[in-house]
Amino acid sequence: MLAVLSPGQGSQKPGFLTPWLDLPGAEARLRWWSALAGVDLVHLGTVAGADEIKDTARTQPLLVAAALLAAEQLPMHDVAVTAGHSVGELGATALAGVLPAESAITLAGVRGREMAAACALEPTGMAAVLGGDPDEVLAAIEAHGLHPANRNGAGQVVAAGAVDNLDKLAAEPPARARIIRLQVAGAFHTPYMAPAEAALAAVAGGITPADPSRILLSNLDGAAVNHGREMVQRLVRQVTAPVRWDLCMRTLADLGVTGVIELPPAGTLAGLVKRELKGAAAPEIVTLNTPDDLAAARDLIARHGVAPSHEPTISFRVVVAPSAGTFAPAQDLAEGETVRAGQVVGHVATRQGPVEVTAHDGGVLTEWLAHHDDPVAPGQPLARIGGQS
């Protein structure tokens, strides 16, 4: 099974789109998307300097455009899973078929402008906390009045909040942890971004999304999201909610992903996956940075993607846990049996009582991803259902 990942802010590099403009139609595509985003994507991706592309109002649509431009060169019909980090989630949502590319670019432009405006309201920032005991790191962040904006796995948590509080955290770091201040405009993915969330919600409310055509993971909790409207709501909520990339990587492992392609500008997410998923769970990774890398990416898809066939296409949907607890599959429901939309396929035992787990779509129960009495977290994949399309 193969996953395509779309990176977030901080991964951009001056001139990283230059080689892509040699592809037929690429420059025209970027100029069309520039009109939607309200920024010159051709200029930003080719000749703009590091300071200019660090501006979140410019960076966000630039990153989404780069991911979508590169993905157009890949056989995406053979890709099973998409996920993105922070603003990269807009690109992943488009690649999963929930949004047209034009809607994703437009939302990225609005998101970037509004988050930049929110950053200007008061002095805030972000700092990476590397190493240390995870519980102690989170406790220290909370004790200093900060928020864990990104939980990236691989021993990396990003703290965000008031500049003064970040200074205090740097002066009193958790044991065995290093603090690195990030050159960003403000405290993304925290309540400081509430005005931006409201502005994005007003625009997103006019979109009519489709349901995902492949497995689409959410930064909110690592869950595979089955409904397009729910995913749009999660994209809006994510402006103030922490990025749980650690949970997304856990889901990649739970799904049995064996190949990963990171879209340009690639490297950051590939590094996190490499450090977090080791041993038998380690996928083969391709970082797609220039058109020269396309051959390797296509080869990876050919070997790890959905096998091409003249038979009806099989699309998989993942049933996820609605809450934390202990899972119990429905009695006498075995792999290979047909389930209908709305059918109860199991229960999660919680402190408040059992919670039903239902199938959002009909199809064949192809695989249980959790078993009787397994402890499960909210959003954790429980079963995979396949159907012909």
Q: Which helix (H) or strand (E) holds 209?
A: none
The reply to whether 144 belongs to the active site is no
Q: Are 203 and 110 in contact (CB under 8 A)?
A: yes
Token pair belonging to 104? 């994703």
Decide if 90 contacts 64 (C-beta within 8 A).
yes
Half-sphere exposure of 250 (CA within 13 A, CB side): 18
Total residues found in the chain within this entry: 389
Please give the Cα distance from 217 to 132 (Å, whole number): 28
Bridge partners for 224 per DSSP: 217
Alpha-carbon gap, residue 7 to 287, rounded angstroms: 11
- Token duo for residue 13: 């590099």
Helix (H) or strand (E) holding 285: strand 284-287
List, in order, residues 6 or more apart from 149 with CB less than 8 Å away. Answer: 126, 158, 159, 160, 187, 188, 189, 190, 242, 243
Query: Quick one: tokens of 38?
Result: 């309200």
Catalytic residue among 86, 213, 218, 315: 86
Q: Using DSSP, state whether 127 is helix, strand or coil.
A: strand
> Which alpha helices (DSSP H) does the chain contain, by range?
26-37, 41-46, 56-71, 88-95, 101-119, 134-143, 163-171, 194-204, 228-237, 245-255, 268-276, 294-304
Catalytic residue among 189, 213, 304, 315: 189
Residue 206, exposed/middle/buried by CB under 10 A (0-12, 13-18, 19+)? exposed
Q: Is 189 a catalytic residue?
A: yes
Q: Distance between CA atoms of 57 and 59, rounded to whole angstroms?
A: 6
C-alpha distances in Å from residue 181, one per residue of 107, 124, 270: 28, 12, 22
Report d(CA 372, CA 381) in Å as an integer: 14
Residues acting as catalytic residues: 86, 189
